[in-house]
């Protein structure tokens, strides 16, 4: 809060009141004009102080709104983060696994329970959420394109070998 603006406002209003009280009963036109001029100046000072005060108040409201929004985002991020637990997919390779609470899976709406899934550890640590696409052999992150090999693919026969087998069989 800008206390200077409030002090200026109070001072200008007090001075204006004193000028107005001093002008009561004055019959001299010159004195009345001089008092009116001072009164108008003090009212302008009060108006300026009020404008400064309102500008400071508006700035404080904007700052308050920004801080409130940041706090809300941080709370949401913390809440979202608390829904996942670090999980080792394969030795040395991690992902976050969703915590499925009993009350979530026991939802009143059939089929609304969140399915078990994993999110990319690297992306999640940077504030991004990417559900891993998991196949039999790899877990793939659609954001950072990280591929985590879950198990070795079985060796596939080459076409030549297939062809040799075919000739031998026939
Ligand atoms: Zn990723």
Average pLDDT, the chain: 84
Distance from Cα 118 to the centre of ligand 1, integer Å: 11
* 61 vs 15, more confident: 61
Distance from Cα 146 to the centre of ligand 1, integer Å: 6
| 163 pLDDT more than 50 | no
Domain count, the chain: 2
In a domain, 22, yes or no: yes
* 84 vs 20, more confident: 84
Domain region containing 125? 83-149
Let me know whether 9 and 59 are in one domain.
Answer: yes
Let me know whether 101 and 71 are in one domain.
Answer: no
In a domain, 5, yes or no: yes
In a domain, 41, yes or no: yes
Residue 140 DSSP SS3: strand
Let me know whether 44 and 109 are in one domain.
Answer: no
CA 9 to chain centre: 37
Mean pLDDT of 114-139: 94
Distance from Cα 129 to the centre of ligand 1, integer Å: 8
Q: In whole angstroms, how far apart are CA 123 and each of 4, 50, 95, 114?
A: 48, 50, 10, 20
| 71 pLDDT more than 60 | yes
Let me know whether 68 and 58 are in one domain.
Answer: yes
In a domain, 98, yes or no: yes
Distance from Cα 120 to the centre of ligand 1, integer Å: 5
| 170 pLDDT more than 60 | no
Question: Which two tokens mark 87?
Answer: 């999980």
Question: Which two tokens mark 124?
Answer: 């999640």
Q: What percentage of the chain reaches a pLDDT higher than 70?
A: 84
Let me know whether 40 and 65 are in one domain.
Answer: yes
Instruction: Give residue 2's pLDDT.
Output: 64
């Amino acid at each position: 809060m800008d206390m200077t603006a409030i002090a200026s406002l109070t001072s200008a209003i007090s001075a204006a009141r004193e000028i107005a009280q001093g002008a009561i009963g004055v019959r001299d036109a010159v004195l009345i004009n001089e008092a009116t001029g001072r009164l108008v100046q003090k009212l302008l000072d009060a108006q300026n102080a009020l404008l400064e005060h309102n500008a400071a108040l508006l700035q404080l409201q904007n700052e308050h709104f920004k801080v409130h929004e940041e706090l809300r985002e941080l709370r949401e991020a913390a809440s979202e983060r608390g829904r996942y637990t670090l999980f080792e997919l394969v030795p040395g390779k991690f992902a976050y696994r969703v915590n499925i609470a009993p009350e979530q899976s026991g939802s009143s709406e059939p089929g609304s329970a969140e399915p078990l899934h994993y999110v990319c550890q690297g992306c999640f640590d940077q504030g991004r959420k990417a559900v891993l696409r998991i196949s039999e052999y790899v877990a793939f992150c659609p954001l950072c394109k990280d591929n985590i090999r879950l198990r070795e693919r079985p060796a596939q026969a080459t076409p030549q070998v297939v062809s040799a087998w075919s000739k031998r069989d026939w």
